[in-house]
Structures are given as C-alpha cells and as structure tokens.
Amino acid sequence: MQITKEQNIILSNPETKDFLADAFYPATDKKLPLIIFVHGYKGYKDWGAWNLMAEKFAEAGFFFVKFNFSYNGTTLEDPDNFADLQAFGNNNYSKELSDLNVVIDYFIKHEKVDDQRIVLVGHSRGGGISIIKTCEDIRINGLITLASVDNLERFPKDQALENWKNEGVYYVENARTKQQMPHYYQFFEDFKNDEHRFDVEHSMEMAKAHVLIIHGTNDESVSVKNAEHLHILNPNSELYLVEKANHTFGAKEPWEENELPKDLNEVVEKCIEFLNQKL
C-alpha cells in the first residue's frame, strides 16, 4: 500500500512558537480517522520507533499525525536533538495543551480527514495531557493512553521545592545524551495557577470518548498502578496490560531495525483493533 508522508510541516502557534508536525496516510478516496500522537517528557516526534508506528497506523487506514511540542527542547532546524535547553526549561502544561489544540485545528481541515473521528494517543506525560484535552474538547471521540501518568503533579517536594523556588531552576540529567536539562520555576507556577484544569483524575472521570489504557507490567518510569487507577476512574475504559513490557514498549533511541519492537507492535495492533471496533 502506498503511504504518503508529509514530514516537518511547520505549524504556528501565536501563544507559543512555531513547531513541526508529520502526517502519514494511505492513498485513498475515503475520509480517514485522525489519530494524533502526543509525545511525553524528554520525547519528540522522531524518537525511537515512532516513525515505524506511524507507518503501521497509516497502513491500517488511519491519518496519523505526530508532532513536537513547541517547547520540548528541539528546534525547527534540529528536530532530533535537544538543541534549545532554554525552551525545554520554559515548557509547561499550558503551552502543551495550546500546541495540541493548534495541531487538531490544523489537521481537522485536511481534505483526507474525517472530522467526526478524532483520536488522541498519548505516551507517558503526553497521556496526561491527552486525558485533559479529551475532557475539554468535544471533538475528540477516542483516547488511547500508552504508559500514561495518572496525575501531572510531578514536582519536587518539601525542601527540594523550596530550593527550586529560591534558585529558580533545577536540573535533571538526560541519561542518553548526558545533557543537564533545566526546569525553571515557572513550570510549577503555571501548574498552580490552573491546578483544577490540570487535574488528570477528574478529567479521566469526565472523559466522554472511547478509552483504551495500555501499560507495560515492567514499566520502570511510570508504575502500572497508574494504568489501573485510570481504569478505575473511567470504568467504561478498556485496560490492556503488556506482560513484561517497559516504558517505551521495547523501543529505544536510536532505533535501527526495520521492524517495530515486539511489544510496541503488539500495542499498535491492539490500538488498531480497538479503533476499528469503536469508530
């Protein structure tokens, strides 16, 4: 099957800044369901095996979009590296939700997209962002979380929080690149300013979409208890656990194979089956 790939499309968000998106879709006269993949913390659209995942969704008859959050630390010129640590440090949940809205608004108008079938697929922190957006936006009728967090209040506590406030920044080492990734205190202030909006648990309870929750039982970054909790919050959801899978379902950066890792392939097949049944 012939797959069209439109890569590094520049999207403009007046509330943040320009960022890049990709669209993968099959050659067909039919209008296709729009699937938007939302990457997580220290993630980006071309990380690991995400391109292979995009191809598999497109081959199954979906219009698949992935994008870089405008403040994820990548740049228009260098989308595969954290070339702008200043931007990374100034990212926050308000900016991510604003960017996601721009992505939906842009691709919903594409001639190949069926605007009545819109699905968010969020990985890790992107799962939390996707849950909130699904609650807020009635256009979204499908939600799939992959190794998602069950809350976004993931900040230093007690003395560490006080230190962060006083110093204005704290750093986390990127295990792969060894970069010291800054987090400016505005991130916490943004959260506190709109705490009710960023309540993932409440959003999951209120989500009206078809919901599939996927998690690996050996997730080293986000405990599988997060998935079980999300499922309890939304009893109409479907919970699917991948035995012994890690946080990225076997993918890593760089991914040099031509095939998806076994666990991620199982995840994508489950997603496709779920979407074909519900949409």
pLDDT digit string, tens, across residues 15-70: 999 999 999 999 999 999 999 999 999 999 999 999 999 999 999 999 999 999 99
* 31 alpha-carbon distance from chain centroid: 24
> Cβ(213)–Cβ(240) under 8 Å?
yes
* Per-residue pLDDT tens digits for 70-114: 999 999 999 999 999 999 999 999 999 999 999 999 999 999 999
* Per-residue pLDDT tens digits for 209-260: 999 999 999 999 999 999 999 999 999 999 999 999 999 999 999 999 999 9
Task: Report the candidate in 269, 272, 274, 214 with the shortest Cα–Cα distance to residue 247.
Answer: 214
Cα separation, 107 vs 198, in Å, equals 25
86's tokens:
């200043």
pLDDT at 271 over 90: yes
Q: How far from 29 is each of 2, 73, 113, 230, CA to CA, in Å? A: 13, 37, 11, 37
Q: How many residues does the chain have?
A: 279
- Residue 110: count other Cβ atoms within 10 Å of its Cβ: 17
Q: Which are the contacts of 17, defined by CB distance < 8 A and separation ≥ 6?
A: 70, 71, 87
pLDDT band at 180 (very low <50, low <70, confident <90, very high): very high
Cα separation, 79 vs 220, in Å, equals 26
Looking at residue 12, what is its pLDDT?
98
Cα separation, 32 vs 58, in Å, equals 10
- Partnered with residue 110 across adjacent β-strands are none
CB burial class (10 A; 0-12, 13-18, 19+) of residue 1? exposed
Cα separation, 128 vs 101, in Å, equals 15
Domains and their CATH numbers in the chain: 3-153+195-278 (3.40.50.1820)
Omega of the bond prior to 33 within 30 degrees of 0, cis?
Answer: no
Mean pLDDT of 161-166: 98
pLDDT at 142 over 90: yes
H or E stretch including 26? strand 19-26
Looking at residue 43, what is its pLDDT?
98
Q: Which are the contacts of 40, defined by CB distance < 8 A and separation ≥ 6?
A: 122, 123, 124, 125, 126, 127, 147
pLDDT at 1 over 90: no
pLDDT at 165 over 90: yes
